Structure 1
């Protein structure tokens, strides 16, 4: 076990990671339950709810994987060593799902809320509800196909080496499949870079549109205390806060792929803590900025206050 984790800083970082993981599980779990209950009642799910459910589910599972990894590493290092490759592959898959859901959710909000007079933008505004499920499916298919083929090839070779006992040179079984994990990691980097570009573009366009509208309200003599102006200002601040955590998350995803951020050391623990910031913070932002989710959350908190 890495000694850095037993230092006061390591214990503090691990405690923060635990708190953030629980917050992420509660926040994303709340979104899943609320939208799932609404779907069971109406048997219909609008595109926004589909994206929110997919995003929250992927992040919920990501946090479970992170917590399970930490638990196995501390309690049973031998078991963790055997399942580490599987955990890495599963984590990368749900991470890409999370990235794509975030990107298309940003695009959805941008198209629905922003006001730009452009032929492409107006065309998207009329068809975004129909396009969202297709875009989400089409964006995930290439990564799934490539990743599954690479993983099957990796474990197929590993099984062959185990049965035959023949390894090229002095290569170990784990080293024989390292190239497969590296390829999947490179795919993740490529897809993540595409997602960041899409998400940042959509978010910046939405920020520009909201800022212009806010300035227009001010020029017409409407003060900052006006409800509409204040609402726009709150959305802008929430969006800026999301972008900060989103960029931090992207950096934290890239760092473990370097040789200095191996699982088990303090640096990787700090990276995992940074990775838990976005799922926990963004779930709170989504709940507070979504009227239906905020209404249910307020109702639940009021019931708890009355019961106490």
Structure 2
């Protein structure tokens, strides 16, 4: 492997490790609290579902990339595409979890006098888990015709990856990224639309709230304003990283549709691009959640104290 490849491999390993560690931390903390209380509030349910899907997704991406790019194990293309199907499922599941989490925070923070909005605000705790399940179910059902279409092409490929006539192996057997690109694009746009609406509602609510505060002469830095800004920051980070991840999926699909295999450096760069979004977003989730932030600081202090005690005992 070249120096560039080793550098990309190092970055990919660090980014993946951060994502797996961050999402694993959220999963363990919320899971432990659920075991203690035997109940979970909607925001923690969405966070746990989000971290679980991302943990599985990133771990699978790391293992698949290690086998294919580092160990250089040549698996049949249809098996590679099967792993790609699972990656798509957990990737879209994580996106829906994050989208409904954004909508949940928006509904809890904003205030409007509209009757429909007030009804949704009162029912949001009950609606969010159902909407998440419905979204995942709709995405899964939408993918079924594409799966049938894809496996119609699989009959032309056997385990030795031989093809009839002079057909292109990449076009016939490795077409999963292209087949699923339209449905991915559709759901990406839908998620971006919901997130955009949540951001607009927050901006309008914040503007109206600060205007009322100025009129009353109270000031503009009360607790409600701080909560608005905190949720707004969370949503803007989510929107940015989500857009970057969307571009990465498109690039990945385009490269897979071309003739020939992906080089090691290309594969690692794509892996870094795809891992950066869930890794960075998991850190933001921890830093913006008071409970997770407190647990993280406490854990780091305990680890530091443990390291210091080991140093003193060995000296």
TM-score class normalised by the smaller sequence: 0.7 to 0.9
Matched, 1:126 2:122: yes
Which position in structure 2 is the counterpart of 1:245? 241
Q: Which of these residues, 100, 104, 110, is aligned with residue 104 of structure 1?
A: 100
TM-score by length of 1: 0.83
Which segment is superposed worse, 115-124 or 262-271? 262-271
Query: Partner of 1:272 in structure 2?
Result: 271
Counterpart residue number, 2:34: 39
Give the conservation status (yes or no) of the 8 Å contact 2:26–2:48.
yes
Structure 1 residue 302, shift from structure 2 partner: 2.6
Count, aligned residues: 301
Instruction: Let me know the Cα RMSD of the aligned residues.
Output: 3.1
Gaps of 5+ in 1: none
Q: Deviations over 1:171-217 (max 9, x none)?
A: 47764445555332321121112112112221332244345545655
After TM superposition, list the pairs within 5 Å mapping 1:136-147 onto structure 2: 136-147=132-143
Q: Is the 8 A contact 1:217 1:229 kept in 2?
A: no
Report the secondary structure of 2:180's partner residue. Answer: helix
Give TM-score, length-normalised by structure 2.
0.81
Retained in 2: the 8 A contact 1:263–1:269? no
What is the CA–CA distance in structure 2 between the aligned matches of 1:244 and 1:188, rounded to whole Å?
18
Unaligned runs of 5+ in 2: 309-315
Q: How do 1:172-191 residues align onto structure 2 when only pairs under 5 Å count?
A: 175-178=171-174, 181-191=177-187
Change (3 A) 1:272 1:117: farther
Q: Aligned match of 2:197 in 175, 197, 201?
A: 201
Q: How does 1:52-131 map to 2 (within 5 A)?
A: 52-72=47-67, 73-79=69-75, 83-131=79-127
Cα distance change on mapping 1:212 and 1:16 into 2, 3 Å: farther
- Contact 2:42 2:128 survives alignment (8 Å): yes
The alignment status of 1:15 with 2:1, answered yes or no, reads no
